[in-house]
Amino acid sequence: MLQVTDIRENKDKYVKALAKRGIDAASTLEEVLKADEERRSSQAQLDEVLAQSNSYSKEIGKLFKSGDVQKANELKEKTVELKESSKQLNEQMLTASEKLQQLLYTLPNIPNDLVPTGTDEADNEEIFKEGEIPKLIEGALPHWELAKKYDLIDFELGVKITGAGFPVYKGKGARLQRAMIAYFLDKNTSAGYTEFQVPHLVNEASGYGTGQLPDKEGQMYHVGVDDLYLIPTSEVPITNMFRGELLNNSDLPITCTGYTPCFRREAGSYGAHVRGLNRLHQFDKVELVRIEHPDNSYKALDGMVEHVKDILRELKLPYRILRLCGGDLGFTSALTYDFEVFSTAQDRWLEISSVSNFETFQANRLKLRFKDTDGKNKLLHTLNGSSLALPRVLAGILENNQTEDGIKIPEVLVPYCGFDFIN
């Protein structure tokens, strides 16, 4: 969430920056400043009324002691009037504050200067590519056909149990899933990240804290009876562990990793491009979350990018990195790098990770601060990245490693799954 003080000081700059996202924010920013002025004016008047009321209360006590009962009663009548005024001013202030909060919730993060201008994914910048795209055997199959051929995933059974987008992994398919989760977690913890197991449902405050609410409310599964949300990513519960905290410089950086299933309604997603594992309502993902000093967050972001690169090199998957343009940038992000694996059987790139710096956007919502060396409390920077999302990684492994005799397993996963070939 943007800060009102920053909007007041940088309004024109913010209008220009948000135009990168294809948003004309001028009128909304004006409304924000107007609501803030109303809030501050009501607060100032309320403070004056309360101060006057306190002054009268002290005077009344003195008058009663001195025996001037008539004057004391006159002042008591005035305090009654002041109490009514304070009630009205307090209501005005709360109304203005609520309006201000709701307006701020509608504004996305300010893109970093590195974010290219653009309207959609076609305008994203490819900044890195690595790995040789394999030449597949004649008659190579997409992963959903391979999963059926080798009895690894049953998509129809998932439809029977729940619905489309909830696959059932079987036999070596299930073991390969478990192997990837363990491998990703081991890579992350060996790099210094602390592993957490977190709840798979969160409350509304957590959804607002990391920015899924109200922006992505329609994409989240809501348990109405208990007013809880199934998590779309472990970023939400992990980052919210630090909601409301005041940290010390010595606590930084905080580096976390965790595995969870993820739940996304993916409303409106359909067509051939979402077949098989390409788009699911429930999928597994291992996540990275960092809490950083503002001066170090972009160095940390570069480190996260290198970390994901290393994982993909060990998996021997051809991949590329995109710097997302303003029109494709997530609501909460200041800068995002997407990793995509090339699916040779589908002849297309599949997104398997996003690594993002949110700067102070989430921290402001979370009231997550640190005491700097100058003694002042300041907002921290939050970052997160997939390390990795499993479905499309599995799709890439199955499709790119298929042979006439079966599917070769990447060497790095063999110790985890206990087999080197699927046939």
Q: What share of the chain is helix, strand, coil (3-state, %, to 5)?
A: 50, 20, 30
d(CA 149, CA 143) in angstroms, rounded, equals 10
Q: Is 351 annotated as a binding residue?
A: yes
286-292-298-300 Cα dihedral, nearest 10 degrees: -50
The residues, ordered by sequence, that sit 6+ positions from 142 with a Cβ below 8 Å of its Cβ are: 275, 276, 343, 345, 346, 399
Task: Report the relative pairing of strands 246-248 and 369-371 from DSSP bridges.
Answer: parallel
DSSP run (H or E) holding 386: strand 381-389
Amino acid at position 65, single letter? K
Q: In the prediction, which pLDDT does 1 show?
A: 93
Per-residue pLDDT averaged across 152-176, rounded? 97
pLDDT of residue 134: 92
User: Is position 384 annotated in a ligand binding site?
Assistant: yes
**254 labelled binding-site residue:** no
248 annotated to a ligand binding site: no
> Predicted confidence band at 267 (pLDDT cuts at 50, 70, 90)?
low
> For residue 394, what are the contacts with CB-CB under 8 A and spacing of at least 6?
143, 176, 177, 180, 277
Is 138 annotated in a binding site? The answer is no
Which of 299, 298, 291 has the alpha carbon at shortest distance from 370? Answer: 291
- Tell whether 399 is in a known binding site: no
Burial class (CB in 10 A: 0-12, 13-18, 19+), 402: buried
Query: Residue type at 89?
Result: L
Q: Are 250 and 293 in contact (CB under 8 A)?
A: no
Find out whether 264 is annotated in a ligand binding site. Answer: yes
Q: Is 292 annotated as a binding residue?
A: no
Q: Is 352 known as a binding-site position?
A: yes
Amino acid at 70: Q
> What is residue 125's predicted lDDT score, i.e. its pLDDT?
98
pLDDT digits (tens, 9 = 90+) for 72-101: 788 878 888 888 899 999 999 999 999 999
Judge whether 81 is annotated as a binding position: no
Q: What is the chain's mean pLDDT, rounded?
A: 95
Q: Give 320-345 pLDDT, tens digit per residue.
A: 999 999 999 999 999 999 999 999 89
**Gyration radius (Cα) of the chain, Å:** 27
What domains are there in the chain, each with its CATH number? 4-105 (1.10.287), 121-422 (3.30.930.10)
pLDDT at 302: 98
Please state the pTM of the whole predicted model.
0.92
